[in-house]
């Protein structure tokens, strides 16, 4: 091999430089946003259950919202029956954002309005969506909460 020693040394240096970021960040994975699912609104509920179980909602909330959109817009249905047989109004603002807001927590502490549409904070949604670089199109059709991040 012609100049084999220099080629091998160059490859070792290249591999070393290329892998430095991987070794530097090893064991430093970001845990992601910490979402408070126990808001004052949820604490006041007799049945502290979302439309589906928590783990299912974390994994499939966008599929449920898409299904809801299809049911309302295409089929005219306005009631969702969950896996336990309980019925819910199909509404992002009146069902989901009634409990899942951060502004509602502030309002409960400061005596603000209890209207979920007014209190609905995009920060509940945005904290995970920004972290995962997902841009949902919810606010294309729904009224955007005050101060929402798109």
Query: What's the pLDDT score for residue 139?
Result: 72
Does 131 reside within a domain? yes
Residue 16 placed within a domain? no
Q: What DSSP string runs through 91-125? A: -IIIIIHHHS-SHHHHHHHHT----HHHH--HHHH
Mean pLDDT per segment of 10 residues, for the chain of length 150 residues?
86 96 84 75 82 90 91 92 91 84 49 38 72 80 59
Please indicate, yes or no, if residue 146 is contained in any of the structural domains: no
Q: What total number of domains does the chain contain?
A: 1
Domain of 39, in residue numbers: 35-140
Residue 115 lies in a domain: yes
Residue 10 lies in a domain: no
What is the largest distance, in Å, between two alpha-carbon atoms of the chain? 80
Residue keyed to tokens 């009634």:
98
Judge whether 13 lies within some domain.
no
d(CA 89, CA 94): 8
The answer to whether position 3 is within a domain reads no
- In this prediction, residue 104 carries a pLDDT of 43
Q: Is residue 6 part of a domain?
A: no
């Amino acid at each position: 091999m012609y100049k084999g020693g220099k080629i091998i040394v160059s490859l070792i240096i290249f591999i070393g430089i290329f892998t430095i970021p991987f070794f530097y960040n090893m064991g430093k994975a970001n845990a992601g946003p910490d979402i408070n699912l126990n808001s004052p609104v949820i604490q006041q509920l007799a049945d502290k259950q979302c439309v589906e179980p928590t783990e299912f909602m974390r994994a499939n909330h966008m599929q449920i919202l898409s299904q809801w959109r299809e049911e309302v817009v295409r089929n005219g249905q306005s009631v969702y029956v969950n896996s336990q047989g309980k019925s819910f109004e199909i509404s992002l603002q009146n069902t989901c954002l009634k409990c899942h807001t951060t502004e509602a927590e502030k309002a409960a502490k400061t005596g603000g309005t209890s209207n979920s549409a007014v209190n609905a904070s995009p920060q509940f949604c945005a904290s995970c969506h920004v972290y995962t670089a997902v841009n949902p199109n919810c606010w294309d059709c729904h009224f955007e909460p005050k101060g929402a991040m798109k």
